[in-house]
Amino acid sequence: MSEVTAIQTLRPTRKIRPAPFLPMSRAEMKQLGWQACDIILVTGDAYIDHPSFGMALIGRLLEDQGFKVGIISQPDWQSADDFKQLGKPRLFFAVTAGNMDSMVNHYTADRKPRSDDAYTAGGTAGKRPDRAVAVYAQRCREAYPGCDVMVGGIEASLRRIAQYDYWSEKVRQSALVYSKADMLLFGNAERALIEVAHRAAAGERLADIRDVRGTAFLAPLGWLPEGWTEMDSSTVDTPGRIDAHTDPYLDTTQSQAPAGSTGTDGAQPIRIVSREERLAARREARAKTVIRIPAFEAVAYDPVLYAHASRTLHLESNPGNARALVQTHGERDVWINPPPVPLSTPEMDYVYDLPYARNPHPGYGEERIPAWEMIRFSVNIMRGCFGGCTFCSITEHEGRIIQSRSESSILKEIEEIRDKTEGFTGHITDLGGPTANMYRLACKDPKIESSCRRLSCVYPDVCENMDTDHGPLIQLYRKARALPGVKRLTIGSGVRYDLAVRSPEYVKELVTHHVSGYLKIAPEHTEENTLSKMMKPGIGSYYRFKELFERYSRQAGKKQYLIPYFIAAHPGTTDEDMLNLAIWIKKNGFRPDQVQTFTPTPMALATTMWHTGRNPLKKLARSSEKVDTVRDPARRRLHKAFLRFHDPKNWPAIRQALEAMGRTDLIGYGDEHLVPPWGAEDKPQRGAPPRGTGKGQQAPRHRAPQAPGRGGPATGPRGKGKR
């Protein structure tokens, strides 16, 4: 693999004056004095020049490195004409579907088309194709045959190996294959993209660059770099005879002498190898080992091999010890290099301090772009998530290691919002990221972190090596709200409450100053059977957080409420689990207006459970445990109905299920009952208690803020998920 160099220290190819906006037309290029672009970015999103939007961040980064960068935003994909609007790029096209996976963007959990698109001017749906990465890449080829094409972003990242596609209900090839791209970038791509761009400028073709972390490429069958070895993991482990391993540190060209031998019989004495030498040799060997996982043709038809490939990929996801992977697709191999090295704090500051216009491109006029409206007064303070929730793909895209900005960089951005963003009234709506409270949290020992293969740092409990000090975040909150012009600062990202309870001071700070009446948290479920498949903590952590939340709310003299999120029809969930969750929701006085049904999205471990019926959290064999998957549409609707038991439309289905489960004791008018004994078409009888209440209290109604596709890849403008 290539050497790791701090990206902010790299020497630009040339000095370029920052453009007001990256050009989207030949007229804008002419104003800048450009004859051609070095790199053209193609995206399925509207172009908003703000670091929360991937193409703006990547474009400004490449611009600072001396490259002339243009953007083709939401082109008409029915022909290649729009892909010619900026001319042929001198180096390559860089293609992304946008901040969201195009299929999650287009369809609900029930595969019904969505009526809007938050990343499009006017919120209009239909401005990008299904599987946009492949369509855009192929149109680039059509526009300029022979031009290099790179694909990246969340859609390509989560499809870097053969993956189950929920929308077509089949296993599809790597996006690298069906997009016909020269290179695929996955994860946080800044480091890899800068290196590739500089090497392309020096004359290398993308298809020939094979040693950059965070990239995938096509290679001839069986191709290996010089000095590398291949480990075959193309089948599941089977019991067999175990032979003693030869000591790799002995000189096997000579006879091995017994301990204490003087060597008089011609044998060489055993050399004593220090622990440091052994570890160094092991690391060197590991760094030049590629693991062959089952081929596309095998995983497409064998659920056990699919689950095995998924488990292997997730175990090889720590940048500190991950090995390369290779997967055969027909007559070629898809080679996947180890994940990118996370950005340091100075590197994060460099990326976020670039000269963004912090506004949509003027070409959109006064049209409203919903995603921009959502984040215009918020600040991204970190990346990554070490939660490892199986239904979420944030970890697979951004990594488990938290990458945090410095306090000074964050405060500077708040001041820029105050001074430059139109409509700012003094309210900062979020300081967050995938999770609100993982800022600067890390493993206590870098050596342990670099060798760890755990899929989650907080399941089944918070790792003893995890530093859960929320002190830096508390200090950041205090300094941010003390800035002149900042009247209010609330936290919009979901709070990981099993971490928050480790710092009561943080909970007090949050509840006293930064909650706007409601706070999002995500227990997801109450039943251990389901939680174990989600890799989520038990409900006891929720109760501990709730007690702190209510105590500090009372002390602050505020009436504030928790908004818990739940997922219906998650793999491993039984009908009884959903019934017990519904009883818990009523007992605790919640009436959720919007709930999420599990959406199988590429690369998520829960998607593997859904598709294969196997549990990749455990070592796999042909006899491995089966996971109950809620695939039948009627059963999925029932699980969702249990979460909205207070809606009369759901009463007939719930009553029928309760009768089948032998739980008619839950049908009636009392507080202990779940649904009344009359149908949805009947009016409530006089004297019946208020619907959806528990313990005789009217529960607060709430409409949970929605992001399309929750339960899958990152979906907010800066990859925010709900934790």
- Binding region for [4Fe-4S] cluster: 385, 389, 392
The per-residue DSSP string of 35-94 comes to SS-SEEEEESS--EESTTSHHHHHHHHHHHTT--EEEEES--TTSSGGGGTT---SSEEE
Specify the pairing of strand 359-360 against strand 378-380. Answer: unpaired
CA distances from 217 to 177, 325, 512 (A): 9, 11, 51
Beta bridge partners of 335: 217, 326
Half-sphere exposure of 449 (CA within 13 A, CB side): 16
Residues 6+ apart with CB under 8 A from 568: 578, 595, 596, 597, 598, 636, 639, 640, 642, 643
Output the CA torsion sign for 293, 157, 149, 174.
positive
d(CA 163, CA 152): 16
Tokens of 311: 């488990």
Helices (H) and strands (E) in the chain, counts: 24, 27
Q: Where are the alpha helices (DSSP H) in 202-288?
A: 275-287
Would you tell me how many other CB atoms lie within 10 Å of the CB of residue 250?
A: 14
Residues 6+ apart with CB under 8 A from 75: 42, 82, 83, 85, 136, 139
Beta bridge partners of 561: 518
d(CA 44, CA 117): 11
Q: In this structure, are residues 151 and 189 in contact, taking their beta carbons and an 8 Å threshold?
A: no
d(CA 665, CA 361): 60
d(CA 467, CA 449): 12
Which of 529, 533, 525, 528 has its CA nearest to residue 614?
533
Q: In this structure, are residues 705 and 520 in contact, taking their beta carbons and an 8 Å threshold?
A: yes
CA distances from 183 to 94, 200, 326, 329, 664 (A): 10, 12, 14, 15, 59
Which of 132, 236, 120, 227 has its CA nearest to residue 175?
132
Amino acid identity at 76: D
Helical pair 303-315 and 605-612, crossing angle rounded to 10 deg: 170
Half-sphere exposure of 430 (CA within 13 A, CB side): 26
> What 8-state DSSP symbol labels residue 714?
-
Tokens of 32: 């800048």
Residues annotated within the binding site are 385, 389, 392
Q: In this structure, are residues 254 and 268 in contact, taking their beta carbons and an 8 Å threshold?
A: yes
First vs last Cα of the chain: how many Å apart? 34
